[in-house]
Copies of this chain bind each other. A is one copy, B any other.
Amino acid sequence: MTTLAIDYQDIIAASQRIKGHAVITPLLESPMLNQELGGRILFKAENIQRTGSFKFRGAFNKLSILAQANQLSGVVAYSSGNHAQGVAAAAAYFGVPATIIMPADAPQIKITNTKTLGARVVLYDRNTEDREAIGLKLAHEHNLTLVPPYDDADIIAGQGTVGLEAANQLEELGLVPDQAIGPIGGGGLMSGTATALKYHFPNITVWGAEPEGHDDAARSISVGQRLANKNAPSSICDAIVTPMVGKLTFPIIQRYLDGAKAVDDQHVLITMAMCMQLLKLVVEPGGCVGLAAILNKSLAVKNKTTLVILSGGNADPAMLGLAMQR
């Protein structure tokens, strides 16, 4: 068997590092929704995590490890916006400068928040420039450590604390979930989370959710090798429109995920409205694709206990307005 980038113990260690820094986000449920769907859905509300997404967990874990090893001077990261804020907040905590490379068309809220958190923001054109190349160049020129968005063991372990925390909360409620689903882009969240969930609940099935036309995870799992999205259509799910899952995340995904489900923008908007109404939560498009995959009937939940990860809430007001019109 392939050696995986992380194991359960790495997630336990990460959870000790982020303790008192990351929010212990609650598991929420809606009796209305449970009744309508005929199953029990528990939502892990990472949209109310510090910086508005789970990304703070991985970033804080990574920077914490670097600081401990006296290897933390300054950091650089590329990100569509959520990892950006996570890295900026963690860098501010450790008192080191952060430079973040973001697409010029990222939601304004993500750009503004990243700057407010004290980071220097460098915008690039997603269609003509290569963010990894810009990141490596800046890292080299200014002696900065590159903090990758997902393909890094410390990042994966940090994101895995979402699954660990949810597992502990489910156990406190005396629940054994049948299945879990959450957003998959590069795969950091779901590879880490699945590692923790399978440890606690060996019989659970774990699913990714991704935008239609960006179904690289589903296809990669299906054929057993990493496949990229080609000529992918535009999607409102900016947080998870990565070209393909990571080199380190994929072996974990292969081992622990049962597949991935695709959702279209219209279902995503309906889901955002439902989260506001039933859960009192503002979620961003890419954050709620797990629930969208249930609502579009890609994942059956009847008579089952399902964990749904809501991964982020950084949506611009215009996007919320669109959702509320559904």
Residues of A within 8 A of B (CB): 20, 23-28, 31-32, 35, 45, 47-48, 52, 89, 109, 113, 116-117, 172-173, 273, 276-277, 279-283, 313-314, 317, 320-321, 324
Overall SS of chain A's interface: helix
Knowing A280-B48, A313-B280, A320-B276 touch, does A113 contact B32 (C-beta < 8 A)? Answer: yes
Knowing A24-B26, A172-B20 touch, does A324 contact B317 (C-beta < 8 A)? Answer: yes
Residues on B with beta carbons closer than 8 Å to the beta carbon of A317? 273, 276-277, 324
Residues on B with beta carbons closer than 8 Å to the beta carbon of A109? 277
A26 to B49, CA, bound (A): 10
Which of B28, B273, B320 is A48 in contact with, Cβ under 8 Å?
A: B28
Residues on B with beta carbons closer than 8 Å to the beta carbon of A116? 31-32, 35
Give the oligomeric copy count. 2
Closest approach, in angstroms, between the C-beta of A223 and any C-beta of chain B? 37
A321 to B313, CA, bound (A): 18
Which of B23, B48, B280, B282 is A52 in contact with, Cβ under 8 Å?
A: B280
Closest approach, in angstroms, between the C-beta of A160 and any C-beta of chain B? 20
Residues on B with beta carbons closer than 8 Å to the beta carbon of A313? 280
Residues on B with beta carbons closer than 8 Å to the beta carbon of A26? 23-26, 48
A28 to B116, CA, bound (A): 17
A314 to B30, CA, bound (A): 13
- B320 engages A31 (CB within 8 Å): no
Give 10 nearest A-B pairs by CB, closest first: A280-B313, A280-B282, A47-B280, A276-B282, A23-B26, A32-B116, A48-B280, A28-B48, A52-B280, A321-B324
Residues on B with beta carbons closer than 8 Å to the beta carbon of A281? 48, 280-282
> Which B residue sits closest to A25, measured CB to CB?
B26
A-B contact pairs, 19 of them (CB 8 A): A20-B173, A24-B24, A24-B26, A28-B48, A31-B116, A31-B117, A45-B48, A48-B280, A48-B281, A109-B277, A273-B317, A276-B282, A276-B320, A280-B282, A280-B283, A280-B314, A281-B282, A282-B282, A320-B324
